[in-house]
Structure 1
Amino acid sequence: MKSGYNSDSYGIIGLGRFGTALALELTKAGKEVVVLEIETEKLDAIKDQIANIYPVKSITRDVLRESGISHCGTVIVCIGKDVESNILVTMGVLEMGVPRVIAKATSIDHGKVLEKIGAEAVFPEIEMGTRLAHSLISTGTLDFLELCEDFSIANISLADKFNAQTIAELNFRKKYRLNIIVIIRDEKAISDITPDMTLRSGDIAVVAGSNEAIKAFEKANQN
């Protein structure tokens, strides 16, 4: 790790479903998390759970420095809709020397550009668990990627026992201590995850949480 960077500190830029899940679960795992977001209502939803959150009008070099994100060991750029901003912010973080920069990509071409400038590209809505190759591990039906030693994202194919049950009926987050980021069904990604969503056997649930919680859910899914 380069001098001046905290390997146990994570910067999150952008709070969509992906960024929010990362920020909350990394915080729960005891990591230092710094969050930047332009839309204040997204920050309001998690302000009581994360200490270092910053509402900003734009993501500039000064903002990156003043917020402390430039000293994080890992920064994840979760800006989704605005591809130009995503690339420019990623480039800015890289140029500040952050040791590991991961950026959300919305297409294969977008991902190629991110990789060309030196970032790791991740595709949360398309194929989470296959593109963040830094620590990809496969165990049975589970595609497993580790963002740090005790926080991971996984693809899990749901067993018959989950068929026709809603997320609310399962009390999913409380029971399994995991966040569902995306459901992949019939090769299409569903990112609007609501409590009344009905799951189907064979759905691929893209979940985020502690390694312990993921392993426990994999076991429950098999029984």
Structure 2
Amino acid sequence: MAGINNLGGQSGLSYVDQLKALQEEKKPNETTGKQDLKQEDFLSLLTKQLAQQDPFKPVGNDQMIAQMASFATVDGIGQMNSQFETLNTSMTSNQALQASTLVGRDVLVPGAAGMKQEDAGMAAMVKLPQAIDGLFVRIENEMGQLVSTFEVGAQPAGDNRIEWDGNDDNGNPLPGGKYRVKASGLMDGESREFEVSTYANVNSVLLGKGDGNVLLNLAGFESPVRLAEVLEVGNA
């Protein structure tokens, strides 16, 4: 098939290659600004290509169908990308609306550090790979000092809720603030540390930076936590 004369003399190019060449010519510069290759450009190029073809070697039906299929594919992909962007925006907004109902509620998130309220205790969740005969809990303050220890006793495999009354080993109430919960026990004759998650109160909800994530601002947490990381929703 003969090429279009005004495409820099690039004869013999396929329809798709000529489209790419036209798109390169229409790239933005400092004076013209952004320009997009639209559907009218495809149709105009196809019309010119048919008008300037060699009459002794006209375009065959199979070539025409292949070029039209290429155009339909390119146009369809563009529309699909646009629809996915719209769907992603809608889903993110819907997640943010649903997450707004969590404001003022406690949520369980991964991490041993949690906030203890004044004149109150603190709860956490310990994940055990198998049942153990005795679970030991250590509480450290924000400075890393050990302030309380207690034994929970035998616990089954899976998630086990533990509660600390907020007092030190002498029964004295400790001030509110950030504390770290550590859990350990004997497993197969060896001392093991176990995964701990803590509860935190949701202060506010915000959207991610264009990545579709919904973030939660938690009391006592310096950085927001993704909604997808929440393991459990507690009471308000």
TM-score, normalised with respect to structure 2: 0.18
When Rg is computed on C-alpha atoms for both structures, the one with the higher figure is 2
TM-score, normalised with respect to structure 1: 0.19
Query: Highest relative contact order (Cα 8 Å, sep 6+), 1 or 2?
Result: 2
